[in-house]
Structure 1
Amino acid sequence: MGWQNEHSVLIGRLVELDRLTVVLDSAAAGLAGVALVGGDAGIGKTRLVTELGERAKAAGFAVLVGQCAELGDALPYLPLADALRSARGELRAAIDARPVLGRLLPGGTDLGPETTSGLTQQQLFGSMLGFLAAQPVLLILEDLHWADQSTRDLLVFLSRMLQTERVCLVGTYRTDDLHRRHPLRRVLAELKRLPSVTAVELSPLDRGEMADYLAALGGDDVQMISDVVDRAEGNPFYAEELLEAAIDGSMMTDGLASLLLSRAELLSDAAQRVLRGAAVAGRRVDHDLLREASGLDELAFEEAMREIVSRGLLRTNGEYGYAFRHALLQEAVYTDLLPGERTRMHSEFARLLTARKGAAAELAYHYLAGHDLAEALSASVEAGRRAERLGAPAEAHRHFEQALGLWDRVPDAERLAGTDHVRLALRTAAAAADMGDNHRAIAQAREIPPSAEVSERLAYYLYDSDDVPGAITAAEAAVAAAPSGTPVLARALATLSRALSWGARHAEVRPLADRALEVARATGASDAEKSATIMLASWAEYEGDLTRAEELFGSAAARDSGDLAMDLRAIFHYARIQFEHGSMAAAAVTADRGVRLARDAGLTWSTYGTDLRFLQFLIRYMAGEWAQAQETAAGFGTRVGKIPEAILSSFALFIEVAMGMPAVEERLTWLRPFWSDALVAYMSRGLAAEHALWRQEPELALEHATAVLDTMDAIDVGNIRISAIALWALADLGRTDGADELLARARRAARPGMGFEGRAWLARAEAEWHRAHGRADVEAWRAVVEAFDVGFAYEAARSRWRLAEALLASGERVAALKEWERAVEVAASLGARPLSAALAELGRRARFAPAQPGLLTGREREVLALVAEGLPNREIGERLFIAQKTVSVHVSNILGKLGVSSRTQAAAVARKDDLL
């Protein structure tokens, strides 16, 4: 009876359901959200999210539900695989387009060659994010208290990265299972701080709600309902069991476990045997597997199952299996097994799963529980390999560590594992590094007998942990121990050159990289070859040989090394150096190629995937392709919770500040808590300073710029740009104090090999220094224009604004007008409202010609007339039979062409200059 309540009327949870529905509605409107539903076992979490699922389906959402299992810690991404199985239509096509997701499904795509699981995890996470953007989706992950670490990591990633997708992510968990050191506790604490996360805690139902609930289940005896309410303590599942027992005439025993077992004890011996087998299998079990494990023939098994299902202990699950109605029931039956009985049944399941070539993680679980250590070792190693290829490094590490723990207890371990102890230990350390635990990777690498390969890996982990001296020592040991003319020597040399870069022994980098390149080519070590080439290119760039640097970066980017991370790194640096040298078109082609590679591989959110997207954005921004730049920036997100997200969000400020968009203030509010990070501060506070200058707040701009400079190393090339902005603020304030120091700082940060942009900003700092001292130096500003006028459309236009000012001050009115007109045209075409407004003000002061009617198209003049009437965009669209979005574009163009920043100002200029 109780098991039928999944589709009964929801009682006592309307407030909680309304809170979840708000998250769902926000997702439907394009603001993704996450809800975490906690409560004791049996309190009604599944019933609540089932109701939410019904509402979601009615609203046009695809509903995907995945469930963790108690052995989920051994099975990576179990709830995700469970959820993806039910995908249909567009979502199924979206999975097919992402092979890394297909690997999670039964009979899915081949796992492929063994690879670095940390990178594979990034691929999976990125692919999952892209998959969820396919259509409105409600993704429910149940019983997160049993989730594996990789699933927990995915939950955190999606909670942070989902922004404007129409996605509602809901997770449920048991609060009574979260002991003090439970790994989900930390995750929940982190997620609940995010503004996009709604936490819902289910408390016990009150007496009235419980009575209504029991009546809905068929209870019609007032005294019986009262007794059940007293005993159930507000827990709906417990109440169902008590009511069932009371209706059947059974005694209502003291504990829930005893009550559940009393139901099971009413079964026949055959049915009890089947139920115990199902409990050993887990919460869900395949029909054929359970029948074979029971030892019953087909007819007897079906009779036993009919008896079990009719009593509501198991229910059918999917096409070919069964599931316990509630996890508490499975736990009670499993706990009641005798030790010998439990061992024997685990062994039987292991035997059957081996014959069926079942999941290695399940095999390892059953073999270990069945005390077959030899098979447990073999299965653990295979489970680790599979977890690696699925992109689950934490689970790979767990399985490999388990195998290492069994190694000395099992004869002939090397044959069973298919590898030697050193190789397995290296793999364990690599899995630790891939899951972000470099300290554990270092500790495990140090436990392995030293060799060239071990020392090289140790050096790599130490360098990534910022222990440069330790990395150098380990890398030198690797070079000394590596046999001549081997791939290991090539990798050791490349790693040593990397460890020595930018330090006191920087002069040794080039000869080491040269030697690494020679050995790598001779031995076919493509990864070491690419790494050495990148180091040589970086050396050439540092030394100022830009032609050689670009050539080497291009060579590295042109070849496929088989290492996606290395390939993306090479493409990024090639695009970067092309950009810095002013080759905008070539840089755009290279960056686009890298972004496509990252997207197709599911690595959009990897380190270099993110860097390439920013570079692609910056190229479009600088080249004046602002429509495409805005499109890219839209994916950077505003609601940030971590430094990497804050860095990405800061990028969007370039376009938002330049266009004077209202989103600037909101974005800066979100970024303010992260200004302790140097890169976030450099970008977001530097742009906050520009924003303040456009708003005529030079004191605030100087405060921002000074704060950024205080955190920067004196030789950081970023000093040039921030010093130039600070000098702009001083000039606007009419102050000279500090100007000389700022210019000196900019000059000190300049270095050989600096790109066009760096040299242009240095010229800008020089020109602003003159302005701060009250001099309108024409030649200084002409140098700035020439420096930026190699593809930097906006910066060139902004510099022409100051050049026009300087020309006017020197009496060269005709030349000033020419520069002003060019700047006005570019600013209007870009929609750079603050610059347009500044140019309009300069034009009024100079008595240049007012805005010309011919500058506006016929449609723009129609829109302007309706703007002047005070109509909003929606009504203008209705009047002119055009889309509201099209109206918005026309309004932006009008503001830019008229050199104003608001609709009110546009209407005033239109009336004043007879444009209506």
Structure 2
Amino acid sequence: MDLLEREAVLQDLAGHLRAAVNGPGRLALVRGEAGIGKTAVVHRLARLADPNIRVLIGACDPLATPRPLGPLMDLAPRLGQAVRTALTGALAGPCRSDEVFDCLLADLSAYPSLLVVEDIHWADEATMDLLRYLARRLPSVPALVAATYRNDEIGRTHHLTSLLGTLAGYPWVYRHDLAPLSRRAVARLATGHAVDAEQLYRVSAGNPFIVTEILAAPAEPIPATVREAVAGRLADLSAAARMVVDVLAVLGRRVSLPLLASILPAPEEALDEAVACGIVCTDGQVTEFRHELTRLAVLEAVPAAYRLQVHRHVLAAMRSGPVAVDDLALLADHSEGARDPTAVLEYAPAAAAHAAASGAHREAAAQYARALRYADRLPPDQQSSLLEGHSRACLLSGRLDEGVASRRTAAKLRRTLGDRLREGENLRWLSCWLWPSGRTAEARQTGLDAVRVLEGLGPSRELAWAYLNLCQLACYEHEGVAVAAAHAEKAIALGERFGDAGVVVQARFHTAAARALSEGCGWGDCEQAVSGAMAQDLPVDAGFMELIMCWFAALQRDAARTTAAVRRAEAHCLDRNLLTYLLCTRAWGSWGLLNRGLWTQADDAAQDVLSHPGSPPTGRALALTVLGLVRARQGKAQVSPLLEQAASLVDSNCLLDTGLGWEARVEVAWLAGDHELVQEEAQRGLAALAGRTHPWLSGPLACWIHRAGGAPPQVPAAEPYALELAGDWAGAAARWDRLGCPYDAALARLSGDAPALHQALAAFEVLGARPAVAHTRTVMRTRGVRPVRRGPREATRVNPYGLTNRELDVLKLLYEGLSDAEIAARLYIAPKTAGHHVGAVMAKLGVHTRHEAARRLHQSEH
């Protein structure tokens, strides 16, 4: 596993080691909970140690009767003869242990050493005495002693507490705490795995061991290794402490001491034992498990009858007094655990509404789903309300299929009840979410059905939203500014009449967005609309509009605008838990990276979207298209299956297929040298786009026909495409340069003179666009242009990133986790020079962190 967020600790430890071997010696205590990565850190330190430093590693074992001087026995083969003899004598009988200590001290004094003693919370008394002895005398020896222990298991009576108290007075003793991983680090580890990174963080609380085990067995609710680890830690608990742990597992995540005492009289002593075990922790009057997955592993082993008894007891206790809104979720959980449907239907919907109002859409969806399991006891109108709430929460939390299914059922129930207003509203919602599902034809028809139903009832707020939906669809399907504006005008009139600011701001936004796409103006009005939504406290509307701005900026190939829009939208969606919008934003971000020539980053971003189980079909289709183009441009195989899979996720008339999908298939045919197929595919794409006015979709298809030697039809084309079609390759290339699209600029220069061809060749070589390089050389030979450059020198051709031999050496050391100073020492260069090499490596790889650079090496080797 990558050692994320451990760089600072490793750097400190490496500094201790360098200082200690030159004298005076030091002791470093590395502490943290079980699974936090203590062993990984000290073993990485051992690998980073200078070859002239002797590395000694021993460990204490969790034995009922610990081995005397167990760690010393582990490392004895690497010690001198005097130590081995004294150790053998001490274990045999009459020889005193202090003779062993003296011999070890002398041995450490003879060689610069790193002595690692792991898990000293399990140490025997003799090992504790050895550490006391060494710690006091370390300033006289050239050695760093690194000891690890679990601080979550060290209570007031633990035998290690006395040793730690002794060490507190020594200034050469340093303490290093390993914290849980952050959300960002967990998300990075989850990259490429089909898991929900946020859920992974929640159940693991950032514990690296738990994260790794879940990723290794994502299909298992509780990985066997985690289950066994929990069972092992509980095995030595007393019956009373085990009962406390079982009750806490049933009660939930945070349990007050009074609530626990209402079930188990005088639980304090047993609770202290459970805390000392390290599986639970206390914070004032509240107790909770360190990790949610640990709680679930314990809960799994609690007998069902006992679980039922505890749930019923707690439910009765909590219902006996006033109910706080923060307790609604807990009451809903205990209601279901107590098998009390009436209580579930009382508390789960209220808990869901509270979660939704707080922006916790995932929690709201779960609570609505809980209530729906018992909804057959309710009248149809209340069932419909639950389905509508469930649908909205699901759609905002990345559970698109569930949300669409609930909305369909709600619409049918409302129709059966004769509630035409609610039926029309449900149809409008259904239309809104069928589009990102890739079912654009059904979205269009359902939107028209919603308007038909609602128009029959007269003016209403719901009809305003239905008109807005048609405006949005007209904008997304590029039916023209006039069509979008006509629907927007109706929506705005009703929105203002009924005081619905959300309708008004979105209608104005989408009218401006339609202008921005077809006429190239209106972006400022879009930004103003987003600002207006935020000013009127409409965060969901603002998040949705920011997503659309990412989409349209990426379609227009504006690198700077796309980068800014994606950064802003990501921050907004993360802050407000808008998962579906976030995943779509990241999909368009990957397209933006592709256009900027950052293909490795584009590949990573697309993989992130595909690995998330909540990614909607349109987002997945776009990510697959990006992956296909990256691989095609790099000359890799298995491109067509990616593009075919992308097309299968959405309707044949979906914009992502008729637009970007067609363009991708045409380019792949061009890169393969099949100009006949280029023209056939491009003509099919233009036919599918007939009746739509999007110059950024029809323009590239016309250009591909032109590049393949054909005569393209007259179609709307954005400026750089129009310039190239008009024969102004220089103007087109200059426009692409201003937009920040190096690959497109190089393509335009293929129609130019000899200097332009040289520029195109150089650009393709820097990008690693092997098929385009070969094509350019063919064009140059055909036109009698001799290449000035023969490509990268041999040292840079041996790797896919264009690194020199020295840069490859630096990359390998980055993979080992070395700092600039450590790289400099290994390569016998100045630290400043090492820093320059590191910067060059990261720039060529298109990454921003040392970890990402190291991961490139790992990927290239596998």
Structure 2 length as normaliser, TM-score?
0.54
Partner of 2:572: 597
Partner of 2:756: 819
Do residues 637 (structure 1) and 629 (structure 2) align?
A: no
Partner of 1:515: 490
For structure 1, list consecutive stretches of 5 or more residues without a partner in the other structure. Answer: 1-22, 30-48, 67-87, 95-127, 139-151, 173-186, 206-234, 245-262, 410-418, 683-707, 773-777, 805-815, 894-916
Partner of 1:288: 258
Amino acid at match of 2:372: E
- For residues 194-593 of structure 1, what are the structure 2 equivalents within 5 Å? 281=251, 286-293=256-263, 301=266, 306=269, 317-319=280-282, 320=285, 321=287, 327=299, 330-331=302-303, 334=306, 345-346=313-314, 348-351=316-319, 354=322, 359-366=327-334, 377-388=345-356, 389=358, 390=360, 391-401=362-372, 426-431=388-393, 435-436=399-400, 437=402, 438-448=404-414, 449=417, 450-461=419-430, 464-465=433-434, 466=439, 467-468=442-443, 469-481=445-457, 484=459, 486-495=460-469, 497=471, 510-537=485-512, 546-547=519-520, 553=526, 556-560=529-533, 562-574=537-549, 577=552, 585-586=560-561, 589-593=564-568
Q: For the residues of structure 1 that align with 2:591 and 2:343, how far apart are their CA atoms? A: 51
Partner of 2:81: none
Report SS of the residue matched to 1:803: coil
Report SS of the residue matched to 1:318: strand
Which structure would you say has the larger RCO, counting Cα contacts within 8 Å and 6 or more residues apart?
Answer: 1
CA 1:722 to 1:710, structure 2 compared with 1: closer, same or farther past 3 Å? farther
CA 1:533 to 1:836, structure 2 compared with 1: closer, same or farther past 3 Å? same
Q: For the residues of structure 1 that align with 2:550 and 2:300, how far apart are their CA atoms? A: 57
Amino acid at match of 1:392: E
CA 1:455 to 1:536, structure 2 compared with 1: closer, same or farther past 3 Å? same
- Give the one of 720, 725, 736 matched to 1:791: 736
Amino acid at match of 2:281: G
Amino acid at match of 1:395: A
Amino acid at match of 1:345: H
Amino acid at match of 2:469: T
Q: For the residues of structure 2 that align with 1:203 and 1:275, how far apart are their CA atoms? A: 15
Report SS of the residue matched to 2:211: strand
Deviations 1:515-569 (A, max 9, x none): 1122223433232224433554566679x5x256657645544532545454344
- Give the one of 584, 596, 600 matched to 1:620: 596
Amino acid at match of 1:648: A
Report SS of the residue matched to 2:735: coil
CA 1:275 to 1:386, structure 2 compared with 1: closer, same or farther past 3 Å? same
Indicate the larger mover: 835-844 or 791-800: 835-844
CA 1:650 to 1:817, structure 2 compared with 1: closer, same or farther past 3 Å? same
Amino acid at match of 1:523: F
Q: For the residues of structure 2 that align with 1:489 and 1:744, how far apart are their CA atoms? A: 39
Report SS of the residue matched to 1:769: coil
Deviations 1:140-178 (A, max 9, x none): xxxxxxxxxxxx97479759xx9xx98862568xxxxxx
Q: For the residues of structure 2 that align with 1:538 and 1:312, how far apart are their CA atoms? A: 58
CA 1:313 to 1:408, structure 2 compared with 1: closer, same or farther past 3 Å? farther
- CA drift of 1:397 comes to 0.9
- C-alpha contact (below 8 Å) 2:671/2:772 kept by paired residues: no
Report SS of the residue matched to 1:520: helix
CA 1:63 to 1:789, structure 2 compared with 1: closer, same or farther past 3 Å? farther
- C-alpha contact (below 8 Å) 1:785/1:799 kept by paired residues: no
Q: For the residues of structure 1 that align with 2:496 and 2:605, how far apart are their CA atoms? A: 40
Q: For the residues of structure 1 that align with 2:734 and 2:346, how far apart are their CA atoms? A: 65
Q: How many residues align?
A: 621
Q: For the residues of structure 2 that align with 1:315 and 1:56, how far apart are their CA atoms? A: 20
- CA drift of 1:591 comes to 4.7
- For residues 682-831 of structure 1, what are the structure 2 equivalents within 5 Å? 716=659, 719=662, 722-723=665-666, 726=669, 729=672, 732=673, 741=680, 744-745=683-684, 748=687, 749=689, 753-755=693-695, 758-769=698-709, 782-792=727-737, 793-795=741-743, 797-799=745-747, 802-804=750-752, 816-824=753-761, 826-827=763-764
Q: For the residues of structure 2 that align with 1:577 and 1:869, how far apart are their CA atoms? A: 35
Partner of 2:211: 169
- CA drift of 1:383 comes to 1.9
- C-alpha contact (below 8 Å) 1:487/1:520 kept by paired residues: yes
Report SS of the residue matched to 2:736: coil
Q: For the residues of structure 1 that align with 2:543 and 2:474, how far apart are their CA atoms? A: 23
Amino acid at match of 1:442: R
Q: For the residues of structure 2 that align with 1:868 and 1:477, how far apart are their CA atoms? A: 62
Report SS of the residue matched to 2:596: helix
Q: For the residues of structure 2 that align with 1:63 and 1:433, how far apart are their CA atoms? A: 45
- C-alpha contact (below 8 Å) 1:594/1:612 kept by paired residues: no
Q: For the residues of structure 2 that align with 1:237 and 1:820, how far apart are their CA atoms? A: 68
- C-alpha contact (below 8 Å) 1:497/1:510 kept by paired residues: yes
Q: For the residues of structure 2 that align with 1:721 and 1:711, how far apart are their CA atoms? A: 15
- CA drift of 1:318 comes to 1.9
- C-alpha contact (below 8 Å) 1:27/1:166 kept by paired residues: no
CA 1:583 to 1:739, structure 2 compared with 1: closer, same or farther past 3 Å? closer
Amino acid at match of 1:382: A
Deviations 1:816-869 (A, max 9, x none): 33333443565566665665566567667877677489x99xxx999999x999
Q: For the residues of structure 2 that align with 1:846 and 1:153, how far apart are their CA atoms? A: 53
- C-alpha contact (below 8 Å) 1:717/1:750 kept by paired residues: no
Q: For the residues of structure 2 that align with 1:189 and 1:847, how far apart are their CA atoms? A: 59
Amino acid at match of 1:446: K
CA 1:821 to 1:508, structure 2 compared with 1: closer, same or farther past 3 Å? closer
- C-alpha contact (below 8 Å) 1:285/1:322 kept by paired residues: yes
